[in-house]
Every structure is written in C-alpha cells, then in structure tokens.
Structure 1
Amino acid sequence: MSTSAGTSPSTQTSVPQVPEIPAEVRERMLEVYQHLHSHPELSMQEHRTAEFIETQLDRLGIEHVRCGGTGVVGILRNGDGPVVGFRADSDALPIEEESEVPYRSTARGTLPDGTEVPVMHGCGHDTHVTALLTAAEVLAADTARWSGTVVLIFQPGEETGAGAAAMVEDGLWDKAPHPEIVYGQHVMPGLAGTVSLVSGPVMAYADSWKVTLFGEQSHGSQPQDSIDPIVQGAHIITRLQGIVSREVAPLRSAVVTVGTFHAGLKENIIPDRAEFTLNVRTMDDDVREQVLAAIRRIILAEAQASGAPEPQIEELYTFPKNLNDPEATQALTEALHSTLGEENVLETEPKMGSEDFGHLPTALGVPSVFWFYGGFDQQTVDSGTMPVNHSPRFVPVPEPTLWTAARAALTAILSRVGHRP
C-alpha cells in the first residue's frame, strides 16, 4: 500500500514535452514484445526474461543490478535532479494460449509442486516490460531534454505476490537511488489508445488461505463411526457466504471466494481430511480485519460443532492495497491530457483485483500512482467477447497498445525529472 504521508512532491510536476518514439524504436518495440510473448516464464522463474532485459539495458548503456532473484533494476543517471521510479512486472501464468497470432506461446514450465504446465503471458506483463524498455531507450537517447535519475524496476513474481517483497527484502532501496515517487501501469480489457486512472484506493487487498479440516475415516456405510470432513467443509463454505451479505455494511466492499475443495479417494470411504483454499478481497483496513476474523471464527466453530479436531489454517499470501496519491494522480492526469489527448484519458473506479506494486513505494514511504491502459481494438471492444486478464485469449493488439503504454510511461517520468532548456 503506497502512502501519501508527508508532503507530496507533486508541486514539482510539470506538463512535459514528450518526444515522439522514432520509427526504428517502434519497430524494435514490436520485436521485443513478440519475443517476450513467445518466451514467457512462471513467477520467480524468469531467468531468461531477466537475461533478455539485461541485454537490452546493456545495449542502451544503462547500468543495472539483479535484485530479488530474477528481478532487474536499471539505473539511468543523467546529472543532478529528481529521482523517479517506474515498475514493470515480468512473470507469466500457467495458461495454454488459444490465440492465433504467429508469436503465440508454446512454452512449458514447472510449478513449485513439480507439475508441468503450459505458460502464457495471459495478463499482459510482456507489454509492461516492453513499454518500459521503450521509454528507457527514448530517455537514454534524448538526455539533453531532462536531468535526474530514473530507476527502472523490472519486477518478478507479481502473480504470486512474492516479487515486490522479494526485491525489497533483497535490498532494492540499498542498491538503487531512492525515488521521490514510484509509477506503474497495467494493461486491461479496454480500447487500445486509452488510459484510465483513479485517485485514492485503486486495487484491493488480497488474502489467500489454505484450510485443512480433520475428521475420522470410516466406511461409507458406517457414518456413525466417522467424523465427516466433507460435511464439515460444506457447512463452513456455505456459512462463509453470509459474511459479506450479513456482516459487512452494504456500502463497504468485500469478496470471499472458495476456489478449491479436495477430499477423499473413493466414493464409499468417508475420508479423514478435506482441504479447501479461499481468497478474500477488501478495500479498507477495518473491513479486512473484520472479514478475516469472521472467516477464522466460522472455521473453528463449525469444526467444534462437528466434534472434529481444530483445523489447520495456512496463510498462503497477502497482496497490499494499492493507493494512488491524490495530488500526484491529478498532476499526472493533466500531463496525460497534454500528451495523449483528454478524450483518451478516462476516469475509472477502484478494482477488486490486486497488485503487489504497493510494497515498493511503501518501503520508502513515498507516494505512487498506478494506472491502466486498454489493449484491444474497437471491433473487439464492441463484440461483447473481449478477453479478460488471465484468459487464454488475452493477447493485446501491439498497436496502439504499446505506443500508448510507452508514451504514458514517458509522460509520467518526464513530468517529474528536471527539464533542460
């Protein structure tokens, strides 16, 4: 969760003169995107991706360091001036791609449990990396326009919530200069060429738990000799649905989803255990605490009601809330109006999706702004079948998606660094 504690440096923001992206850079941008899309890697396994990013930074003469295992931090220094951070995540998902593009992914990967899976950039992180590399190339080639330092954060492991925290724990802000603000962006279903922002809360907390229920195994014909964890689990999962509808105030936001349930090996055996996983989304600290406490209360109470041993609750991961600094968001909105056109800069609503981006600015107590850009042409938008993130068909059109993302990144960075006459 980013914070706006203290005085925001937004008074230093100005509407920048953003240079055009030269034709040869746009050609290279497309090549980079197609390469990344064809060679996706799972979270915290982005070894070839990190090497590719390092090769691109070497080509541009930008110093860089590894951080958080497969994270890469580029440091573009250009004299005295403000320090600005910009983050792009690099990991892909265990999805089999269903698109027909010539650069579609046929990659395979291995999950931590050893399962081999297809891999795809089904959330568009390949466009994030491409846009930031393109912005870095433009900035490196036009140093007479600006002064300061840009910290280019190519972060691994966003999909598992591990990457940003890993970079911070590995000394990100010891290895790189401290920015006065950190920016980030994400491709979403929407019209390519547009961006959308919201001030204040922008993305939700996410908490995921694995719950193991214990019982007493018995023959299916002798239920009196069992403690049935499946029945116990059914009561828990049904009762969990009442938290949002009956415990959370109607004008507050929360989502409780049970995503998996596993128990037993044969239809005539009552098993001795069952396991389910759940995911919780909330926008406010107090609602988060309320919902998580209610979930724990229900799990323990239903186990007791079943005469079962106490369940095991394992916290899998937590994503922080993502908060846009109001002053910095307003300043960036005005700058984007100038570079992209007011009609292409939209106001959006907070999303119940989650991001670990907030760990990066929070570690320094500096403000942040995170926004979205569309990835599909008008025909797809109007079709009613536009792919969503994590779909096997989520493949943004390269243009004007990449151009818009790169221009938005340049706008944000150049609105903060020093300008030279």
Structure 2
Amino acid sequence: MTNADRISGIEVKASPFASIISQQIPDLSSYEDLYKHFHRNPEISTLETKTSAKILEVLQSLNSQYGSPIELKHPIGGTGLIGIHRNGTGKTLLLRADFDGLGLQEKTGLDYASTARQFDSHLDNVEKPTMHACGHDFHITSMLAAIETFLKAKDSWSGTLIYLFQPAEERGCGAQMMLDDGLYDRAKHACPEPDIVLGQHVMALKTGTVHTQTGPTMSAADSYRITIYGRGGHGSMPHYTIDPVVIASHIVVRLQTLVSREVPPDETAVVTVGSFHAGHTVNVISDDAILQVNIRSFSETWRKVLLDGLHRIVDAECTAGRSPKPAKFEKLNQFPLTKNDADVTAQVNDSFISYFGKHRVDTNMAAQLGSEDFSWLARRIDKPYMFWFFGGTDAEVWDKHEKKGTLNEIPANHSPYFAPVIQPTLRVGVEAMVVAALTFVGKK
C-alpha cells in the first residue's frame, strides 16, 4: 500500500500495518447490521443478558469459521465475558469493550433507534426507556470486527490477545465485578495476566480522527448520597424543629468553596450537587434532607483534599445546625483516575500517526472530566495501560459547526440525540484497535 491508497475515502499513510489491515479486515457491511442490532437493543448496566448472549453467539460463530482458536470464558462478573486468543509466543494484551446502555429515551429519529424499555432491577426497579447514548454499541462492534481481523491475519502477529467484553461501565462497577469474580484467577477462568491493557471510546469528535493523551486522561469520580437529619414538624412552628433543608442548603453553598478556595487555580476539579430532596408537603418541615454529590479530580492529592473537605463541611454544618445525629454517607460509585502510561502511549501514537496520518491524530487531547472504570483492569495487577478516543460526528457537520463556533451544539455522549455516523466511525474503531494491538504483537 502506498501513500496514495485510500480506505473508505480517507487517506492512509505508509504503515507497517496498512497492508495487513487492507487485506485482512472483513467486509464491514455485516458488522454495520450488527451495530444496528446492538443500537436497537440496549440494556441497562448489570442487566445486559441479551447483549452478552449476542456477543457470545458472534464469537462462537467466528470460532466455528476459523477453527476455534479463541477460548471463551463466561459469565464473569455477571454478564461479562472474555475470549483468550493464543497465537504463538510474545506479549499478552488485554483489549476491552464495554456494552451497557443508559436509562434514557432516544430522540435521534434514526430508523434503527431504540424503543426498548427495561425494569432497572439493580437500582430502583423502575421501568425506563433505554438507549445506547454513549457509543458502547460501537465499542462492541469494533471489537468483534477487530477480532475477525486478528483471526484472518494470524500469520502477521504473535502473542496472546484477551478480548474482554465488560458490563456496567456506566455505574462504575463492571470492571470491579469481573475482577472480584476472579478474572485473573487462573484456576477459575484461565485468564493470563496481560502485559498491557488497551481500550477506546467513541466521542462527539470529527469522524475519521483519533485522539490520545499522555498521563491524566479522564478524571477520577466519587459519588455519594448524604442524608442530613433534622427534627420535623409543622411549618408554622419552626422553633420546635431542626430544619434539615436549611442545614443542607448551607452545605450546598459551602461545598462550592472546595474548588474555588482549596484547590489551586491551575488544577482541574468539579464538585456537583446533582440532587437535593427533602419533604413532600408545603407546610411540613421534614425529618431529613438527601443530597447526591459528585466530585471529579485529576490527582490523588487533590482528590483527597476534596473528599476530606466534603466530610468536614457536612459534619461542621450539621453541628452548626444542631442536627440530632451525624449525617449518613453512602458511596454510590467510584471511578479511578485514567492515567495513560507514557511509554505505551508514545508507541501507540507513533503507530497511529504512521497509519492514519498526522492530520487525523491528535496526540494532545485535553483531559476529559468524564470518568471510566477501564483502568481498574490494569491497576489491579499493576500493569501499564492506554485509553484513546475516536470521533463519531459527521465530518461535514463538524466542519460547519467549527466554522460557526458552535461545536457545543453537537449532541455529545449521554445526550438523547447522540447519533454517531456509522461510517467511517466503525471502520476507524476497528483500525485503531488493530493498529494499537499490532504495535506490540505484530511481527516486525
């Protein structure tokens, strides 16, 4: 393949992997149909039984077609599953794709839009509309097409690839569930420890592009439900009560000083009170008030400052307000800091630039305040990892909004209007995963 060769209308630069991909990547039309299937049929975190079964069905079909080289292990951590693909000596890599949807009503108007509904038995047992509003359907499909590429290109690489399909990323518990279920316990699942862990995510960026960052890439996030106790009574007799709404209101305001007065201006942090609930009737002072608080940070040092400050402020305001007992803290979820390994990222960046061309690869993407549980898969065994992003917004739409300075109007992840274009988004997702893996297991 020369520099003039093009794939899906997009120029591909000279790369040691270009000929492998051009010759071995499968026809993606069937994977486009598979993507539409996953998009139409999302399932809420921890309840992804049909999604997991469909992934397993495709993997079994690939095994049947290519002589069963992939050892399948399921279920792991609820609905999770892995495929272990041993193909000679060399490094062991873990490639991860998440597959849960969100409790959200889709409003894209696509002919393959989701109309699914599901009882969220894990959280509140409420029936909810369900949507793949974060692109996990692309992650599944890109991984499956990449797997077929590795099967067809078996003579071009040597090592072991672990294909991990993970549930419940949206609630920050899926990776931990798989680990707690003995993911790396050889006696239980026969999964070897990887030397490197790799993952990717589609975003509302220009399609055809790939984006990376060295070091802190996605924030740590800590979420709590905090119950503030008071003493209820009649609204006309506040002097007989201890009003938890007043105490909680002071907490909400005071928490804003954590970022503005305790974290340095050159550090990035966010404290959000996303929910405040107390009482049901206009003339009744309630017994308690409930806050839900989310904290995001990019370093363990300032994460500790923020969490210590949260407890200090809550305790102090409860004391000041004469709360009859200490506040109750319940941890809702915890996402680790995603901090890409410098050496792994440098090597993958070189491969991305060589393959996609420098104009399509951003190696200095701004760190994202969104959070991921991906890094637990590497942190648990103290291994290096890298997480990157690829664009899903139609190039013409992106260019139009960029020219007008209205990029903020493009529907982003978790929007009911989030609708990445299928191509070249899917192809780039496949290529990026294959190129990153071949960086470490490809035959030179």
TM-score by length of 1: 0.94
Alignment partners' CA distance in 2, 1:82 and 1:223? 68
Counterpart contact for 1:43–1:91, Cα < 8 Å: yes
Q: Which residue, 155, 158, 162 being the options, matches 2:166?
A: 155
1:103/1:132 Cα in 2 relative to 1: closer, same or farther (>3 Å)?
same
- Which letter maps to 1:339? Y
Counterpart of 2:45 (choices 43, 46, 60) is 43
CA distance in 1, matches of 2:196, 2:16: 16
Q: Pick from 201, 207, 218 the counterpart of residue 192 of structure 1.
A: 207
How far 1:339 sits from its partner (Å)? Answer: 1.5
1:180 aligns with 2:207: no
CA–CA distance in 2 between the matches of 1:21 and 1:232?
66
> Which one of 60, 64, 67 corresponds to residue 62 of structure 2?
60
Structure with greater contact order relative to length (CA < 8 Å, sep ≥ 6): 1
2:389 pairs with 1:358? no
Distance 1:110 1:137 in 2: 34
CA contact (8 A) 1:57 1:63 kept: no
Alpha-carbon distance in structure 1 between the residues aligned to 2:295 and 2:152: 45
* 2:297 counterpart residue number: 282
C-alpha distance in structure 2 between counterparts of 1:379 and 1:304, whole Å: 57
Q: Which residue of 2 aligns with 1:107?
A: 116
Question: Following the alignment from structure 2 to structure 1, what is the Cα–Cα distance between the partners of residues 25 and 79?
Answer: 31
Report the alpha carbon displacement of residue 80 of structure 1 after superposing the two structures with TM: 2.1
Match of 2:411, SS state, is coil
Q: State the shift of 1:291 in Å.
A: 0.7
Q: Which aligned pairs between 1:396-411 and structure 2 lie closer than 5 A? A: 396-411=420-435
Tell me what 2:180 maps to: 169
Cα deviation for residue 84 of structure 1 reads 1.1
- 2:93 paired with 1:91: no
Take 2:111 and 2:87, find their aligned partners in 1: how far apart are those partners?
Answer: 39
Measured after TM superposition, the shift of residue 79 of structure 1 is 2.0
Give the direction of change, closer, same or farther, for the CA distance of 1:349–1:15 in structure 2 (3 Å limit): farther
Change (3 A) 1:142 1:24: closer
Amino acid corresponding to residue 379 of structure 1 in structure 2: E
Q: 1:125 aligns with which of 107, 115, 136?
A: 136
- 2:26–2:148: 8 Å Cα contact kept in structure 1? no
Q: 2:153 is matched with which residue?
A: 142
* Aligned partners of 1:129 and 1:154 also within 8 Å: yes
Instruction: Map 1:263-302 onto structure 2 (within 5 A).
Output: 263-302=278-317
Once residues 409 and 378 of structure 1 are traced to their aligned partners in structure 2, the CA distance between those partners, rounded to angstroms, is 21
2:396 and 2:427 map into 1 onto residues whose CA distance is 19
Instruction: Give the Å deviation of 1:252.
Output: 1.4
The SS at the match of 1:88 is: strand
Of residues 237, 240, 254 in structure 2, which corresponds to 1:222?
Answer: 237
CA distance in 2 between partners of 1:215 and 1:361 (Å): 44
How far apart in 1 are the matches of 2:91 and 2:316? 55
Pairwise CA RMSD: 1.4
The alpha-carbon deviation at position 22 of structure 1 amounts to 6.2
Q: Name the aligned partner's letter for residue 355 of structure 1.
A: E
Match of 1:338 among 332, 354, 357: 354
Q: Which runs of 5+ in 1 are unaligned?
A: 1-13
SS at match of 2:55: helix
Partners of 1:312 and 1:97 lie apart in 2 by 35
C-alpha contact 1:208 1:277 (8 A) present in aligned 2: yes
Kindly indicate whether the alpha-carbon contact (under 8 Å) linking 2:212 and 2:349 is maintained by their aligned counterparts in 1: yes
Post-superposition shift, 1:16? 3.5
Match 2:83 to one of 60, 74, 77? 74
Which one of the candidate residues 226, 248, 252 is aligned to 1:237? 252
Deviation at 1:380, TM superposition (A): 2.4
Q: Is the 8 A contact 2:24 2:152 kept in 1?
A: no
Structure 2 length normalisation: TM-score? 0.89
Measured after TM superposition, the shift of residue 15 of structure 1 is 5.1
In structure 1, distance between residues paired with 2:356 and 2:373:
27
Runs of at least 4 residues off by over 6 Å: none
Letter of the 2:438 counterpart? L
Task: Compute the displacement of 1:23 (Å).
Answer: 7.9
Deviations 1:254-274 (Å, cap 9, x if unpaired)? 100000011101000011111
In structure 2, stretches of 5+ residues that fail to align are 1-14, 64-69
CA deviation after TM superposition for structure 1 residue 378, in Å: 2.3
Aligned to 1:29: 31
Equivalent position SS for 2:28? helix
Corresponding residue to 1:19 among 13, 18, 21: 21
Determine what percentage of the aligned residue pairs are the same residue. Answer: 41
Conserved in 1, the CA contact under 8 Å of 2:133 and 2:416? Answer: yes
Partners of 2:196 and 2:385 within 8 A in 1? yes
- CA offsets 1:140-169 (integer angstroms, 9 cap, x no match): 122111121110010000000010001111
Paired with 2:375 and 2:365, the residues of 1 have a C-alpha distance of 19
**In 1, distance between residues paired with 2:24 and 2:93?**
23
Aligned positions, number = 407
**Secondary structure in 1 matching 2:184:** helix
**How far has the Cα of 1:333 moved from its partner?**
0.6
Could you tell me whether the CA contact under 8 Å between 1:15 and 1:415 is conserved in 2? no
| Distance in 2 of aligned mates of 1:49 and 1:301 | 47
Report the Cα offset of residue 24 of structure 1: 5.6
- TM superposition shift of 1:21: 6.7
- Cα separation, 2, equivalents of 1:87 and 1:24: 20
Q: Which amino acid letter does the alignment assign opposite residue 325 of structure 1?
A: D
